[in-house]
Amino acid sequence: MAAPKKKKEVTGQINLIIPAQGATPAPPVGPACGQHGVNIKDFVDQFNDRTKDLERGMPIPVVISVYADRSFDFVTKTPPASYFLKKAAKLKSGANKPGHETVAQVRSSQVKEIAEAKMEDLNANDVDAAMKIIEGTARSMGVEVVEG
C-alpha cells in the first residue's frame, strides 16, 4: 500500500484579474508573483495557454495558491457579471449615478444566460437565485432588466 500523499503547505494566495491570453510579466502579474517567489514566466505561459480558447482581453479572475517550495497552482474563474452585462447591453461603462439614471436595458432572457454561465462561481442554489444576483449587479450599473 502506498503512503498517503503529503499535503503541501500553502504560504500565500494571490487574487488577480488578468485579460485572457494577455498575461505578461509586467504589473500586476510580475510584482504580485515575484514577491511570493513564483516563477513568473511559468505562470504567464500556463495562464495564457489555459485561456487560449477564450475571447482575447476578456477579464479572467484568477486565484494563485503558492506553496512553501515556491511551486504554485491556480484556478481561473468566470469573468465578472458586469463584463457580461456590458457586453449584452453594448456598453463601454455603467451609469455615473446608478439608481438615478438608466444607461441601457437587458432582457431577462439575457440575464438568465449570464446567470447560467456564472453559476459555478455564484453563491446560489439555482438559476433563479443566480438571476437575482445578476439583476442586482445590473441595477448597480444603471442597467434596467426588462421582460423578454
Residue 26 buriedness (CB in 10 A; 0-12 / 13-18 / 19+)? exposed
For residue 119, the 8-state DSSP code is: G
Assigned C-alpha cell, 44: 504567464
Q: How far apart are CA 86 and CA 140, in angstroms?
A: 12
What is the tens place of the pLDDT at every residue in 119-148? 999 999 999 999 999 999 999 999 999 987
Q: Point out which residues pair with 14 in neighbouring strands.
A: 64
* Residue with the three cell numbers 498575461: 23
Taking the chain, what is the end-to-end CA distance rounded to the nearest angstrom?
59
Position 101: which residue type?
Answer: E
pLDDT, tens only, 66-106: 999 989 999 999 999 999 999 999 999 888 998 899 999 99
Name the residue among 110, 22, 16, 29 with its Cα closest to residue 58.
22
CATH 3.30.1550.10 fits 10-76, yes or no: yes
Question: 11 to each of 6, 27, 34, 100, how far by Cα in Å?
Answer: 15, 21, 14, 45
- Beta-carbon contacts of 99 under 8 Å, excluding residues fewer than 6 positions away, are 139, 142
The structural domains of the chain, with segments of one domain joined by +, span: 10-76, 81-146
pLDDT band at 2 (very low <50, low <70, confident <90, very high): low
CATH of 81-146, picked from 1.10.10.250, 3.30.499.10, 1.10.645.10, 2.40.30.10, is 1.10.10.250
pTM above 0.95, yes or no: no
One-letter identity of residue 86: K
